[in-house]
Structure 1
Amino acid sequence: MVHVDLGELSRRLAEHVVQTDSLPNRELLTAQASLIDAVAVSIAASTLTPAARPFLEVAMETSHGASAIIGFGERCSAPMAAWVNGALAHGIDYEDTHDSAIAHPHAAAIAAALAIVDYRADAISGTELLTAIGLAGDLVCRIAASFDVSPDTFGWHVTPWLGVFGAATAAGKLLKLDANQMIAAWSLSMSQMASFGELKYSPLSDVRSVRDAFAAKAGVLGAMLAARNVRGYDEPLGGKAGFLNGVARNQYQPARILEDLGEKFLGAEVSFKPWPACRGTHAYIEAGIAISRMPGFDASKVDEIEVVINQKNEMLCVPEEIKRAPENAIGAKFSIPFTLATALVKGEVAIASFEPDALQDPKILSVAAKVRHRLDPNIPLRATTKGSVTVRAGKDEFSHSVEKALGHPEKPLGPAEHKAKFDDCLSYAARPFSDKTRTQLWECLNQLHTLNDARKMTALLA
């Protein structure tokens, strides 16, 4: 086990970030795939996340600058561009995720990194951009994987807390901070953040969908201030009242943060979502689609449905009355009963599955009302994509179990599936792309690791 001096934890991580100039080819190309995925789902969110438009309006009213805003085709200051891009990053819950760390490592980080591309005076190469994204994703996953108990248990909503470290790391790396400045960037970014679990009890809240806006903006501002030598905390992560003690309440394993540092990049182990919903629903969506194709299955004849879940995924089943009939898209995406019922009735789950008419579909709501969950304490906390579904219809029973949901590195999406997701997402852009520009953007993103100037990519976004 790696020895960890908590008084030096932040410094060891900061030195690793600033001293790493490139990633291995596999990790670099995975960071590129994460960027492509993030750009696509953010573009779709420009029309599918109504709460994101006020972010755009405020940004345009209050700032001027060169940084590209995804999907809307506008430009503004770097912090405000990160703010809007962050509001889009999780808007339709379609971005990549690290299944076992239980983290969205790139949402805020990519929103922040893209804002810096047009802010920095000199050109940022594609490799430099992807390295910053890869390092940020790795750090987020390492922190998330260290928890013995989710900080959500203590009333936090931890995803944006993690995101602020990713955003500050990506922005700080691109601004060429030294180790002292990187530590300051984390400190100054943390100082702008608060993320509470109350949103779980407010089903009509927009905060869950736009949450990464605040982390992305804080990360960019923190890095910009650190570049001007504003000092932060000595030990923002491992200090007596730093992030890990304050948010995780000492229930974490710091050795996990440093294990194989520089040799293994956890951000390259992400899963890419085949369905636009919380990753915890995916085992049940996959099982539902499989059952819908079984001989003799008829969704209209279903009597009872049992889903087996772990403790983490219980939040996707309760309160039952809300999860069986969610009132908005983001609520439906965080519902095992609704997403499973959609899979059973329609045989698929797509972006259109969360449009207003779909949320009122009586066939889907009827099936969702029949879903009952059973907690299995033997399923580990981090096995969030493991689950099973049993459907009873008269004398017939249909069952399907999933160990690791589709999209996991061991069950990856194919090139055609990635391209289909990209094209589908771009069809929802607030400022439509011509066929020519769409092709150019796809080609540019896939060649990003070879480009000397990443502004060739952001020019196509704006």
Structure 2
Amino acid sequence: MSELRKLSRYICELSLDNVPNEVQNAAKLCVLDSVGAAVGAAHYELIKGVADTYYDIAGKSDHASCWGQKKKAPLLTAIFLNAMMGHTLELDDVHTNSKTHIGTVVVPTAWTMAEFLGRSGKEFLEAVICGYEVMSRIGMGFGVSGHRNKGWHVTATAGTFGAAAAAAKLLKLDEEKTVSALGMAGTQSFGLWAFLADGANCKVLHPARAAVSGAEAALLAKSNMTGPEHILDAKDGGLFAAMSDEHDISLVAKDLGQKYEMMYMDNKPYPCCRSTHCTIDAALAIKNEFGISKNDIEEIEVATYLVGYKQCGVSEGSINPVTPVDAKFSTPFTVACAFLFGEVTLNHFKQECIQNPEVRDLLRKVNVVTEDRFTKVYPGHWGCELSVTCKDGRIIKKEIADASGSVDNPLTKDQVRAKALALISDTCSEDAARIVEMILAIDDAQAVPAL
């Protein structure tokens, strides 16, 4: 049996009644975290501009809600905008073993499709779990480092599969049609890291397009279009070989139904690339323990894993950030903010902070290098060592094996709830508490409501 068929059978057979309670609770927290990250971005200028353009061209059908916009749109437009919002703040969840941001793809697809179809909260959660399990396994199958080092963005390349899985579950496709949906999702796999070269802000397009492509794949399968069952391993045009030199198809269905990858999600406390988080933790720890200020610092060296170096330590945008995208993918910038302000928040990625002379001066003292001991344990652990050389000759070091919010250093349920509440309050303050409680009890809903 092909790996794609194994996934399809799993999707068709999954019932919330047979899913452990701890997984169901984790699913609701994932939904809460993802909705918070998305709704919190609803008022951002880029989102508003894209939304205005798409409202004009999408037609007048009010199929589903566009989160935080107080508007409805045709199904695929709503999915597109909701998924785009989910990635805008760089606060969406991370499955580190596949390097995928699953929530920003799967949750908007499942919620919007469930709202459109009138599905129950229970059916919605089933779709979410299917999406997380499929997307994470496809991501792991690619081979995290090999896939990334070829320039592919796995949130997009694996994301089409996660969205297709969630949509297929809600559309109640049979096994054959689910195979086709996943096959067509794979033939639309895409997404590259080239945006880093000039700080382009189109990274948010990746989960948005992946969500729509996956949803469309399921709708096309429902309409009797067939997709390639061997999209992953075909000798001519197989996705894994085309996109990675380190792929492992055996990981796609490994422990399927026994081990839930949803239980291994990171929740991001800082609104920037996950590869900067261990260095932020290290900088804050040194600042708080030793009272280090900018005037004490001669130089800073960050030793980390190869992918973290490539994404956040070596590009021109990382070394000399100009745009908010540059700053969010800059270890020197985020370390400088941590030492200067004692925190790293959304406010620090505004243009006035990026151009702050004190920030510019300190980030130039930060040098990022690779170290094999961190590369060898990646992606299981996203670690670093930060070394501060002080003007008085002291050298202070701090190693972080796992960043805050990781599986090995998790946020509590209360912290995840507080994060979501704060983000939702930014957009819809009067309804924020009600939305949070509604999500945490979504399995009791007779129908998934508009947001």
Question: In the alignment, what sits opposite 1:420?
Answer: 418
The equivalent position to 1:197 in structure 2, one of 193, 204, 211, is: 193
What is the identity, as a one-letter code, of the residue corresponding to 1:141? Answer: S
Q: Does 1:372 align with 2:367?
A: yes
What is the identity, as a one-letter code, of the residue corresponding to 2:400? Answer: V
Deviation at 1:376, TM superposition (A): 0.7
Q: Closer, same or farther in 2 for the Cα pair 1:212/1:281, shift >3 Å?
A: same
The equivalent position to 2:346 in structure 1, one of 348, 351, 356, is: 351
Q: What CA distance in whole angstroms lies between the structure 2 residues aligned with 1:187 and 1:101?
A: 20
1:130-145 aligned at under 5 Å gives the runs 130-145=125-140
Q: What CA distance in whole angstroms lies between the structure 2 residues aligned with 1:189 and 1:147?
A: 15
Question: In the alignment, what sits opposite 2:443?
Answer: 449
The equivalent position to 1:304 in structure 2, one of 288, 299, 315, is: 299
Q: What CA distance in whole angstroms lies between the structure 1 residues aligned with 2:224 and 2:92?
A: 34
What is the identity, as a one-letter code, of the residue corresponding to 1:450? Answer: D
Deviation at 1:71, TM superposition (A): 1.9
Deviations, residues 61-119 of structure 1 (Å, cap 9, x unaligned): 22322211112121111111111111111111100001222111221111211220222
Q: Secondary structure at the match of 1:304?
A: strand
Greater Cα shift, 291-300 or 24-33:
291-300
Q: Closer, same or farther in 2 for the Cα pair 1:109/1:317, shift >3 Å?
A: closer
Whether the 8 Å contact between 2:195 and 2:202 is mirrored in structure 1 is: yes
Question: In the alignment, what sits opposite 2:325?
Answer: 330
Question: In the alignment, what sits opposite 1:9?
Answer: 3
Deviation at 1:136, TM superposition (A): 0.9
Whether the 8 Å contact between 2:124 and 2:170 is mirrored in structure 1 is: yes
Tell me, which stretches of 5 or more residues in structure 1 are unaligned? none
Give the length in aligned residue pairs: 442
Whether the 8 Å contact between 2:196 and 2:326 is mirrored in structure 1 is: no
Question: In the alignment, what sits opposite 1:405?
Answer: 403
Q: Closer, same or farther in 2 for the Cα pair 1:384/1:367, shift >3 Å?
A: farther
Greater Cα shift, 377-386 or 169-178:
377-386
Work out the percentage of aligned pairs sharing the same amino acid. Answer: 24
Whether the 8 Å contact between 1:323 and 1:338 is mirrored in structure 2 is: yes
Deviation at 1:19, TM superposition (A): 0.9
Q: Does 1:40 align with 2:2?
A: no
Q: What CA distance in whole angstroms lies between the structure 2 residues aligned with 1:24 and 1:126?
A: 17
Q: Closer, same or farther in 2 for the Cα pair 1:403/1:331, shift >3 Å?
A: same
Question: In the alignment, what sits opposite 1:268?
Answer: 263
Q: Does 1:113 align with 2:110?
A: yes
Q: Does 1:82 align with 2:79?
A: yes
* CA RMSD across the alignment: 1.8
Q: What CA distance in whole angstroms lies between the structure 1 residues aligned with 2:268 and 2:125?
A: 20
Q: Does 1:21 align with 2:33?
A: no
Deviation at 1:407, TM superposition (A): 0.7
Whether the 8 Å contact between 1:92 and 1:209 is mirrored in structure 2 is: no
Deviation at 1:58, TM superposition (A): 3.2
- TM score, norm. by length of structure 1: 0.91
Question: In the alignment, what sits opposite 1:339?
Answer: 334
Q: What CA distance in whole angstroms lies between the structure 1 residues aligned with 2:253 and 2:109?
A: 24
Deviation at 1:189, TM superposition (A): 2.9
1:135-174 aligned at under 5 Å gives the runs 135-148=130-143, 149-174=145-170
Q: Secondary structure at the match of 1:315?
A: helix
Question: In the alignment, what sits opposite 2:90?
Answer: 93
Tell me, which stretches of 5 or more residues in structure 2 are unaligned? none
Question: In the alignment, what sits opposite 1:71?
Answer: 68
Q: What CA distance in whole angstroms lies between the structure 1 residues aligned with 2:130 and 2:315?
A: 39
1:195-274 aligned at under 5 Å gives the runs 195-203=191-199, 205-240=200-235, 241-249=237-245, 251-274=246-269
Deviation at 1:185, TM superposition (A): 1.3
